[in-house]
């Protein structure tokens, strides 16, 4: 296992312990609103601080991009950059809904090379190294073998901050409801992507994601034999925030269906 991946696992488990302890007394947690329907808690901040401390101790010259602190920590313009979401699914966490995760990725010159997604509720640890495969609790995982969109279970995420694309979302959702085995929207994109990698979902689509929502999960999918792209079928999803993923045979019709619904202004 790559040394940096070992450190990322250590950091994710530290954050998971903080989150699990806090989940036992949700009523005492202070919650602030970054913007409408976008929440941050003292738990997000404590988990992020623990992650950054662990990573910087081992790799002081790496850059850091984290959800709550941005690029304030770490070295600017570094060749390597950690991309961190300390608590993906904060709204679920606040409500006691056990669907949230810690996500840590390491990118070199913008290409993700190491990935950890840790679900502290189920003690499920997803890991991947570029070229080394994807794993769930040290067991090799692969995307599902489903080949038809009509048999596929698809994950998604609906808008919750900006609603200018809600009609487009509903239009795509409606068509996929008729042409798939079902869609799910649990509210933590990093776990949704890990579920594609492990075969629990056959595909996933969402617009407007942040890099920390998807950096680790997209490497998991690629290393598990799946396909990931932006809305043009290209690899610019970390820049655009728009993501389509799936098994090789499900990905193609999913991309085609969504492409046909898109106005030219948001293809990319």
pLDDT at 34 over 80: no
Whole-prediction pTM: 0.95
Q: How far apart are CA 35 and CA 231, in angstroms?
A: 27
Looking at CATH, the fold of the domain delimited by 149-266 is given as D-Maltodextrin-Binding Protein; domain 2 (3.40.190)
Whether residue 161 is predicted with pLDDT greater than 80 in this model: the reply is: no
Kindly tell me if the per-residue pLDDT of 128 is higher than 70.
yes
Residue 158, pLDDT score = 81
Q: What is the mean pLDDT of residues 29-58?
A: 84
| 76-94 pLDDT tens trace | 889 999 999 999 999 999 9
CATH of region 3-140: 3.30.540.10
State how beta strands 63-66 and 80-88 pair: parallel
Whole-angstrom Cα distance, residue 242 to residue 165?
12
Three-state SS for 254? helix
Res. 267: pLDDT tops 60: no
Considering only CA atoms, which of 201, 21, 157 is closest in space to residue 93? 21
What number is the average pLDDT over the span 232-236?
92
The mean pLDDT value of the chain amounts to 93
Total residues found in the chain within this entry:
268
Distance of alpha carbon 264 from alpha carbon 24, whole angstroms: 47
- How many CB atoms are located within 10 Å of the residue 262 CB? 18
pLDDT at position 45 over 60: yes
Residue spans of the domains in the chain: they are 3-140, 149-266
**In the block, which residue shows the tokens 């997604």?**
117
Q: Measure the CA–CA gap between 262 and 35, rounded to whole angstroms.
A: 27
């Amino acid at each position: 296992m790559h040394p940096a991946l070992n450190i990322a696992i250590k950091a994710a488990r530290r954050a998971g312990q903080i989150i699990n302890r806090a989940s036992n007394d949700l009523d005492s947690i202070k919650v602030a609103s970054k913007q409408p329907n976008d929440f941050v808690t003292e738990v997000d901040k404590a988990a992020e601080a623990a992650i950054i401390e662990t990573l910087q101790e081992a790799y002081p010259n790496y850059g850091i991009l984290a959800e709550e602190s941005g690029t304030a920590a770490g070295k600017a313009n570094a060749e390597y950059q950690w991309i961190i979401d300390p608590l993906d699914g904060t709204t679920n966490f606040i409500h006691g809904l056990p669907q949230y995760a810690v996500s840590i990725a390491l990118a070199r010159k913008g290409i993700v090379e190491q990935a950890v997604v840790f679900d502290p509720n189920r003690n499920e640890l997803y890991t991947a190294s570029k070229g080394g495969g994807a794993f769930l609790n040290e067991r090799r995982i692969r995307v599902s073998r489903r080949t038809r969109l009509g048999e596929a279970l698809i994950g998604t995420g609906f808008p919750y901050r900006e609603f200018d694309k809600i009609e487009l979302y509903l239009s795509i959702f409606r068509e996929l409801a008729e042409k798939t085995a079902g869609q799910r929207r649990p509210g933590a994109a990093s776990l949704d992507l890990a579920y594609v990698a492990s075969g629990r979902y056959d595909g996933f689509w969402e617009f407007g994601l942040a890099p920390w929502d998807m950096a680790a999960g997209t490497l998991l999918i690629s290393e598990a034999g799946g396909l990931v792209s932006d809305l043009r079928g290209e690899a610019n999803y970390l820049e655009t925030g728009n993501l389509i993923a799936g098994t090789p045979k499900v990905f193609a019709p999913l991309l085609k269906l969504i492409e046909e619904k898109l106005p030219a202004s948001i293809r990319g």
